[in-house]
C-alpha cells in the first residue's frame, strides 16, 4: 500500500469545524515504453504491474499480436521503463502511434476505416450475474476505498468467478493491465466478461475488441461513439449497473432476465 499511496497534509472542514490532518492519496508516476530502441509512449499510471501494462498497451494497440514476436524484454522499475524488441516492427514510433487501432478509435465512427474486428459469440449470462459481478469487483477495490483516486477493472467468467483484478489512476491502464496479464498468462478471453468502474469511451471499446472480449459491464455511462462502435463490432455494452438495475446499450440478447 505504501508504494501505491502517499501521505499528504491537508485542511479538512466538516460543518463549522476546521482541522489539519494527513491523508492517503493515490501515487502517480510515469512509465515509458521503448520499442526497438525508439521511444513509443510515456503513460501516467499507478506504480505497479508494469509488465502487464506495457504488454497490454502494445497488444491492445495492435503492435504486439503474439508472445513469439518478442525478441527481448527488460523492465526497469526504478526508472519506470520497458525496453522491448519485437519482430516485424520497422515503423517509426510516430507512424506506429498514428496508425494503430488505439489512436484510430478517437475518430468519429463514420470516419473510421471499416474495421476487420468482429465479435460473434454464443456467450449468455443472467442479469443476476451482472449484479453479483459488479458487487464483487467493488468489494475488491480496496485502494479506491482508501483514496477514491483509482479506477477498477476485472476479468470474469460466466460462472461468476473473477479471474483478474486491477486498479490504476487511468481507466485505460486498468484495461491494458487486465488484457496484458491475460496475454502473458495465456488466459482465453473470447468467453469472458470485462468489468469496470469507469466511463466507457470508444477507445476502451477498441481495446476490448482487440482482446476479443464479448461483454463489457460498467457502473458508469458510455459515450455515443462507444455505443456505435460496440454495436458495429458485436460487443454487448452494459452500463449504469447500480443495485438491481442496468442499461443494456448493444446486443441485449446476451443478458437473460
- For the stretch 197-235, pLDDT in tens is 999 999 999 999 999 999 999 999 999 999 999 999 999
Domain 29-97 falls under CATH 3.40.190.80 = no
Domain 125-256 falls under CATH 3.40.140.10 = yes
Decide whether 29-97 matches 125-256 in CATH topology.
no
The packing angle between helices 50-60 and 202-210, to 10°, is 90
The 10 Å CB-count burial string (b at 16+, else e) for 56-88 is: bbbbbbbbbeeeeeeeeeebeeeebbbbbebee
43: β partners: 31
The packing angle between helices 171-184 and 50-60, to 10°, is 90
Give the pLDDT of the chain (257 residues) as one tens digit per residue. 448 888 999 988 899 899 999 999 999 999 999 999 889 999 999 999 999 999 999 999 888 999 999 999 999 999 999 999 998 876 554 555 544 444 343 344 454 455 557 888 889 999 999 999 999 999 999 888 888 889 999 999 999 999 999 999 999 999 999 999 999 999 999 999 999 999 999 999 999 999 999 999 999 999 999 999 999 999 999 999 998 999 999 999 999 99
Residue matched to cell numbers 510515469: 30
Identify the burial level of 20 via C-beta atoms within 10 angstroms of its C-beta, where 0-12 means exposed, 13-18 middle and 19 or more buried.
exposed
The grid coordinates listed for 192 are 469472458
Q: Which helix (H) or strand (E) holds 93?
A: helix 93-99
Annotated domain spans of the chain:
29-97, 125-256
Amino acid at each position: 500500500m505504501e508504494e501505491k499511496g502517499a501521505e499528504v497534509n491537508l485542511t479538512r472542514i466538516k460543518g463549522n469545524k476546521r482541522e489539519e490532518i494527513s491523508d492517503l492519496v493515490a501515487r502517480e508516476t510515469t512509465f515509458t515504453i521503448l520499442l526497438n530502441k525508439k521511444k513509443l509512449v510515456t503513460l501516467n499510471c499507478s506504480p505497479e504491474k508494469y509488465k502487464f501494462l506495457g504488454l497490454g498497451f502494445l497488444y491492445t494497440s495492435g503492435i504486439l499480436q503474439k508472445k513469439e514476436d518478442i525478441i527481448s524484454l527488460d523492465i526497469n522499475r526504478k526508472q519506470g521503463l520497458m525496453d522491448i524488441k519485437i519482430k516485424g516492427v520497422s515503423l517509426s514510433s510516430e507512424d506506429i502511434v498514428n496508425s494503430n487501432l488505439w489512436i484510430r478509435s478517437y475518430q468519429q465512427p463514420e470516419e473510421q476505416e471499416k474495421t476487420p474486428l468482429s465479435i460473434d459469440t454464443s456467450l449468455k449470462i443472467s442479469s443476476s450475474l451482472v449484479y453479483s459481478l459488479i458487487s464483487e469487483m467493488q468489494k475488491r477495490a480496496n485502494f479506491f476505498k482508501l483514496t477514491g483516486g483509482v479506477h477498477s477493472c476485472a476479468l470474469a467468467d460466466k460462472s461468476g468467478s473473477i479471474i483478474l483484478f486491477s486498479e490504476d489512476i487511468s481507466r485505460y491502464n486498468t484495461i491494458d493491465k487486465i488484457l496484458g496479464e491475460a496475454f502473458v498468462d495465456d488466459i482465453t478471453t473470447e468467453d469472458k466478461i470485462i468489468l469496470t468502474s469507469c466511463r466507457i469511451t470508444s477507445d476502451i471499446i477498441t481495446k476490448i475488441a482487440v482482446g476479443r472480449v464479448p461483454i463489457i459491464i460498467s457502473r458508469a455511462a458510455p459515450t455515443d461513439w462507444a455505443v456505435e462502435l460496440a454495436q458495429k463490432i458485436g460487443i454487448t455494452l452494459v452500463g449504469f449497473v447500480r443495485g438491481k438495475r442496468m442499461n443494456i446499450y448493444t446486443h441485449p440478447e446476451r443478458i437473460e432476465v
